[in-house]
Structure formats: structure tokens, C-alpha cells
Chains A and B, each alone.
Chain A
Amino acid sequence: MGKSAAPTLLQGTLDLLILHALQRGAMHGYAVAQTIHLLSDTVLTVEEGSLYPALYRLELDGAISAKWGLSENKRKAKYYEITKRGRQLVAQQQATWTRLSGAVYRVLAR
């Protein structure tokens, strides 16, 4: 499948990506995965094995909230929404990530 060449997500970055995706509005799990997939120009694939544990963890931490709703095709789906605490977390983690990736880039460029 060639998928093995796809970069795997760094530990801890998945939370940030999920929260970032949810800043666009409430969406269900599948949509979160799709959003990340598309926004990364299909480089990143979020597997359900990592996605749902992450979503459950974020909910427990109070960064997102969940409720059942109807999807676009009139199916029952669980919708996730970012909370105020979640937005604070995104801002924090984004700053950290920018610093870190910048540093890594600089190291590799020299």
C-alpha cells in the first residue's frame, strides 16, 4: 500500500491537530479525521485507533465537549465541540509547536 512511508504523527501532536480542526466548528469523529487528512494535503492519516482514544481523553480533560446530533445524511452521530479551555490549550500548544518545529528546521537547515 505504500502507506508505511507515510509519516507517523509525533507523540502529542494529535491532540493539537484535533483541537485545531474543531476550532472550525462542531464536527463528528470521522469529519475530524477527514479535516486533518485534507488540511495536510493528504499526508497525514489519522487512524481510528488513535483518534477515538484521543477524543475521549480530551473530553475527560474538559478541552472538548460531546453531544449526539444528526449528521448531514440524517444519521445519529456524536458531535464534538471545542470548549473555552480547549481554545486556551490550542493557543498554548501552538506556540510551543511553532517554537519546536522552527528549532528542528533550523537545525536541519545548517
Chain B
Amino acid sequence: MRRLFLKLFRRRRLDRDLQAELAFHREMSAAHHNPIPLGNAAVIREHAFDLWRFTFAENLGRDLAYAARGLRRSPALVLTALLSLGLGIGVNTAMFSLGVEFLFSQPSVRDAGSVVLVRVGGNSHSPEKIIDFIRSSGLFADVAGENEETFANFNDGAETHRIFAVYTTRNYFTALGVPMLYGRGILPSDPAEVAVLHYRFWRKHFNGDASVVGRAINLDGRLCTVVGILPEHHRTLLGFGYTPDLYMPSYLDDTVLAIYARLKPGTSIAAARGGLVTVAKRMDAAIPMEWKYEDNLSVLPLAGYARFRAEPELQAVGVFFALLLAIVGLVLLIACVNVASLLLARASARRREIAIRLALGAGRGRLLQQLLADSLLLCVLGSGFGLALSQLTARLLARIQLPLPIPIRLQIQPDWRVAAYAALLTSFAVLACGLLPALQSVTESIAPDLHRERKLRLRRALVTAQIATSVIVLATGFLFLRNLVDSSAISPGFDVRHTLRADVNLPPASFKDPKKKDAYIDQVLHELAALPGIDAVAAARLVPFTDNTTFGSTLTFPDNNQKVRTYFRWNAVTPGFFGVMDIPIRRGRTFSPADRVEKVVVVNRTFVQRFLAGRQPLGTVFRWGDIQQPYRIVGVVDGTKTITIGEEQQPQLYEALDQIANDRLRIQFVLRSAIPPALQLDAVRRTLYGLEPMAGAQVETMYSSIGLAFLPSQVGAVLLGSIGVLGLVLALIGLYGVMVYSVVRRTREIAVRIAIGASRGNILRMILGDSARLTLTGSLVGLFIAIFVTKPLAMFLAPGLKPADPLNFASVLLIMMLTGLSAAWGPVRRAMNVDPNSALREE
């Protein structure tokens, strides 16, 4: 305190005082005939003052101003450095914000840390009476429920849209405390006919008109009053950027809900779980089921890191993000090396200045600090630029509507975590860019020529490292590119070029009766088939890549009494399905309306190979689980891929759609068109709307609907491919800089060589050879590391593609050699045009 006070108030007088004191000291020395002390008055002042000043801050300010003045004179350097660092830091923070948002986001509820996800009896969703039971036990402060992924049909007066609704218990909004933009949440006292709209849905369909609150909208044929609008950055309990269109109270008896509870203050998750055991025991006594609620209880945290730790699947995704972060980290490293090498060149230009300052008594530490100011300034500016860039890219990325079956929009907002990460990267970059050049220039003042040699060697080492790093990044990018090409070549097993599909969601109230559903399907098939240009139509429960159901059951074959535990993909289709989809029927036939007497199935060839070893499949009869009536195989088809394009062919079993209990409101139609399917979309939409105005239908070409299958490799290829190109460009800049420098330095040598008779070819070989040596060394080191680094990527790749793919590595090597050549081109021309007369005279 006292020091601060002294420092603040005595600074002005300090200089005058010290001058007077020193003068007095010398006078006294002279008077006493002592030798006048050989002190450097300026140094004494510096030392004495350092104590009395806010030295660090004042020096920093001065250094930064000086660095700014110096850098203003070399705009090319500043531009290159800012671009390199900006891109490097930008890509890193963008990736980081995506990862943080995806893995650690907090749902938009009051005190998210005290909200938990509850499961009883191992069920992810339970009926509302179970929620009421848990709530009345008083174990939690409150209990609410939601069904996240339900379809609803929204009629805007002209068209019916299939939208994503979240069904909730009435107390959902009050129990969780969800922030609203306009209006209010659903209240326990509300009737069933209310709805809360999501911001995006509201913008899209109501143009952001706040007066929609209080109005009624048509949902599933019911008039529901809009009571509130959710804010733009509403994050659902489900997380992962899931963005539903609206929330409404659950009103159907058979709706099951995920249970969310708020812990009582001071209760731990473990304690709540303990209490839940008792509640579940009472539940088992009150509501007897075939299984017990007491088994497989879980209480899971919902937000942030606690959730991440509790879910192993999330950790796997975390590993993927860590991998991406490591790769973009390498790009930043390349960028830093570039800047370091630029600063190194600049330092050699300032050699005289630094030597003079050292001679005048400047401390090495002080000089180091000043030289670091250069890189500090560049890095801070660069990261500012990068942060802006990353917010832009993250937002653009989040805006891209991914071809996913559910609406996903990540809310990318800068927060303290992203800012902290950017600051960390910046300080790393300051040291990475600045320390080496600064140390070099401070130590080099003695025997400068010797050091110049060492400095060039250092720069060459840096460039080699840079090339090695870009090889690693590029190899990874290439791997994903190959993956994309390879997986595009894989056939999904059905025709995607001449087909389209309509995904229809029927309104629940008017289609309770399965007969009515069957009648509707027949009518749709009939009317769609009558459209001009439509060759064939079929209905199916599932269309591959948009939906799937997998059964694990025991099949019993009465002919040899063999019981087989099987695992197969299931579908139920109308007879025309295989024809429309162009799935070849290898043996037997498809379903026929005559199949009324017995249950029949069509299986794929993998099913035959897996479960019917060597038997004649046609006519084989089996029993499925406990079902009494036997099934007969009437046909064998090639089958399709179902979830990802790269998956191995799985056993498939098709049932006839009219033979199953039609208990589902979602039904899909597939159509085969003689003209390009995109031209049929409107006609199909109109036909469906005419038949049932209250049914929401999503109509799209088959080609666009299988986009999801290509998503992982597409994202990987685009992301890593562009990162790889970025790294390559950065390495190119670095290599070019080194080559130019080395040619300039060797101008005299080249002139002498030309003067004593070296041909242009000799010079060309010399310079190109130099560049090739650097590139080759870097590439080999990089490839060697890449072999190990890319190993964990195997799980993301199409079958048959190995991370250590020779073709992949060969192409990367080729690209690097071309890069080396192009980087050397300018310097080579410069070297060949050296005029020995003028070059030698200059020295």
C-alpha cells in the first residue's frame, strides 16, 4: 500500500532528485581527490527507476507502441502473419465451440445442475401415472415428463406440415423453469389445447408476429391456443442441438414420457437413487407388471460435465472432437512456425539495431521482452481476427441444415470457455512464434556470421517440421476424401435415381381404427399410381436410411427342431415395394393379395446364409418367438443397406403390410417415376393433401433422403479436406520464404559459380535440389508419424479402407513434392537471373 502510494506520488520528482544526487556524488569525489566513478549514469537511472515505476506495464506499453511502429513498415509481414494466425486460431476456436456446445451444453431450465433424468424398470419412457406416482412420493422437489420426438400435423390454412412436437406433462414449464421470449409456459391449470412455439417455428410460420400469442392454431385437427414463444437460443433437455417446433401437453392415453426430476436442495444424486428404490418397490406393489420397476433404476445428471461423465457414448464423441482439435491444433502450429520464420527473417534485418542496443547497456531480458512484444501484438491481433472468423464459421456451420431425420441446430454463442480457450491459444502462439526468433537475435550479436549459419539451419528445421505437420493433416483429410469417394461408389441396394418417397404422419384422433388406416393406404396407392409419369407405387413401414427397426428374436424351424437366436432388420411392405425400389428378387416371389391364409415373409440373401445354412429357403417354415402361427418364406431378395452406407449387409426380413397389426401413425410411400423424380414432388404433395388435409407429409426424392448415410464421410472429407488444404497453403508460404531467403543469401555464391562457368542448369539443379531435400525429409518424417496418428480413425471409415492406405500416402507425397517445386519456382528464377557482374560488384 505504502509502496503504491510512494510510486504514485513521487514519480515526477524522481528524475530531478537522482540527477542532483549523482552530480553531488561526483562533486564530492572530485573534492576528495577520489577517482570519479565510472558509472553509466543512464543505466543507474534505469535501474533506480525500474523500482519506482509500474515497470512491466509501462515497458509493455512502450514495447507495443514500438512494435506497432516497426510492423507498420512491413505490411506484407503483418498481413501474412495475421492471415496465418487468424486462420489457425479461428479454426481452433470454431472447432472448440462446436465441441463444447455439443458435449457440454446446458439445457435452458432454471438451475440445470439440480435436474436429473430418471429411469425406472430400465424404461427410457414411462406412462404419466408413473410420473404422478414418483411426484406424490415427495422424493424430489418436482417431477415432470416429456416425449421429445413426436410428430404433429400443423395446418397453416393452405398446407399441412409434419412438424416435431414435444409432448409434456402440464407442470413441465413450472417445474423446470423454462425461460420464455413472449407469453408464458404451459400451466398445470391449462386445458390440453395449448401450445408453446419455438422461436424458429414462430419466425418461419408467423413471421415473428408477437400477437400470435393468444391465437389458436390447428394442430392434428385440434384448435390449440398459443400461450408463449420460446427464445431463439432455447436448448432442449435432450441437448445435441435438437430443435423441436413446439411443445404441447400430452393428451393421448398411450403417450409415454421421459421422466425429469428436480432434486431437493442438498440432496445428492446417490441419495435420490437410494430413495427411488423404496418408491419403486411401492410402485411394484401398486402397479404389478411383467417386469419390476425396481430393476434397472437410474438417476442421471442432465447438464454439463456431469452428464458427459455419466454417458460412455458421449465420451466416444468426445474422443472424436479431441482428435479434430488435435488436427486443427497442428494447423495452428504450422501457422505459428510461419510467423516464427518471418520474425526470424526480420530479426536478422534488425541485427545492427540489437547489437547497438546491447552495446549501450540494454539488458538481455529487457530486449527479449521487447522482441516478444512483436509476436504478442501479432498474436493478439491475429486471435481477434480469428475469433471473429470462428464465430462466423461456427454460425455458418450451425446454419447448414444437415440432412438428418430430426431438426438439429447447435446454438453457437461465444462464452467464457471459448474466450479462455482463445486466450490460451494466443499465449501459446506468442511463445511459439516469438521465443525462438527473439532468443536467436539476442544471442547472435557476437560472431554474427557464425550465427547466421545457425539461424538458417534453424529455419530449415522449422520448415521441415512444418512440412511434416502438413503431411499429417493432409493425410487425414485425404483419408476422409477417399472414404467419401469409396462410399459414394457403394450401392445402397436400391434405386435412388428414379424414385421418391412420401413420409406421412396421420392425425391420431381420426385414425384410431386400423381399418381406416388400411383404407387410407389403399386410396393413396391408387391415386398416386394414377399420376402422370408415375410408374409404380408401394407403401412401407420403413424406408432405408430414414428409419429402421431391428428385431432380436428366436426362430424355431420345425423341420429339424432347430432354435436359432437371430438379429435382423425388419420392414413391412406392400407387394410392389421391391419393384418400385428395384430390389432384385433372386428366388420365389413377392407378396400377393392371395396370401391371406398363412403368414408369409420375404428375406434377403444374408438372412439365408446366416440362418438357413445350405437349406432350400423357399417354402421353409419357421416360428417366430412365441407366436403360434408359423411363417413361410416365399421369396429371397438381395436386400439393402439400412443405416449407414458402409455397413455390412445385415439379415433382413420383410412382412406383408396388410398382415401386420397396423399400430403406427407414420407410413411411407415410395414411387417410381418415368421423369426426373424432383418434378413429381408437387403433384405428390397435392394428391396427399387432397386425400387427408390433416396429415403432414414430407415428400422428397430418394436421392436427397439418403443424404444421412453419407454424412459422416462428407463432414469428415469437407472438414478435414479444407483443414488439410489450409495447412498445405501455410506450409507453402513457409517453404517459399525459406527458399527466397536462402537464394538471397547465396547470391554471391551463385554469381561466383556463374562467373566461373556454371550453366543455368547447374544453378537450377542446385536450388531445386535444396527445396526437394527439405520437402522430402519433411514428408517422410510426416508420413512416418501419420501412420501412427491415423490409426484410431479406422472406426469412421468405409469397410476395406485402411488408415495406412499406400495410395493415400503416395498421393499426399506427390502433392507435397509439387508444393515444394512451386515454392521453389520464384527463388529459382531469381537465382538464374543473377547477373554475376553486378552481384559481385555490390559486395
Contact = CB atoms under 8 A, between A and B. Distances in A.
Interface of A: 28-30, 33-34, 47-49, 52-53, 56-57, 60, 62, 71, 73, 75-78
Contacts of B593: none
Interface in B46-61: 47-48, 51-52
Contacts of A78: 17, 20-21, 24
A77 B25 CA distance: 9
A76 B52 CA distance: 23
Interface string B1-43: 0110011000000000110111011011101100001111001
Contact of A52 (B2, B21, B28): B21
Contacts of B310: none
A30 B47 contact: no
B51 A48 contact: no
A60 B3 CA distance: 6
B3 A49 contact: no
Contacts of B47: 49, 52-53
Contact of B51 (A28, A57, A71): A57
Contacts of A75: 24, 27
Contacts of B48: 52-53, 56
B51 A53 contact: yes
Nearest to A31: B28
A29 B25 contact: yes
Contacts, number: 58
Interface residues of B, number: 26
B481 to A, nearest CB: 62
A30 B28 contact: yes
Contact of A30 (B20, B24, B44): B24
Could you tell me the dominant secondary structure of chain A's interface residues? helix
A76 B22 contact: no
Contact of A76 (B3, B20, B25, B44): B20
Given A52-B21, A78-B21, 17 more contacts: A28-B24, A29-B25, A47-B39, A49-B40, A52-B44, A53-B44, A53-B48, A56-B48, A60-B3, A62-B2, A71-B24, A73-B31, A75-B24, A75-B27, A76-B24, A77-B24, A78-B24
B27 A48 contact: no
Contacts of B27: 75
Nearest to B46: A53
A62 B20 CA distance: 22
A1 B38 CA distance: 13
A71 B20 CA distance: 13
Contacts of B29: 30
Contacts of A73: 31
A63 to B, nearest CB: 12
A30 B17 CA distance: 15
Contacts of A34: 32
Interface in B155-178: none
B16 to A, nearest CB: 11
Nearest to B7: A60
A56 B52 CA distance: 8
A83 B758 CA distance: 80
Given A75-B27, A77-B24, A49 B51 contact: no
Contacts of B22: 48, 52
Those 4 A-B pairs whose CB atoms lie nearest each other, nearest first? A49-B39, A53-B47, A30-B28, A56-B48
Contacts of A77: 21, 24
A71 B2 CA distance: 29
A49 B43 CA distance: 8
B20 A47 contact: no
B51 A47 contact: no
Give the most central of B22, B31, B37: most A CB within 10 Å: B37
Contacts of A52: 18, 21-22, 44, 47-48
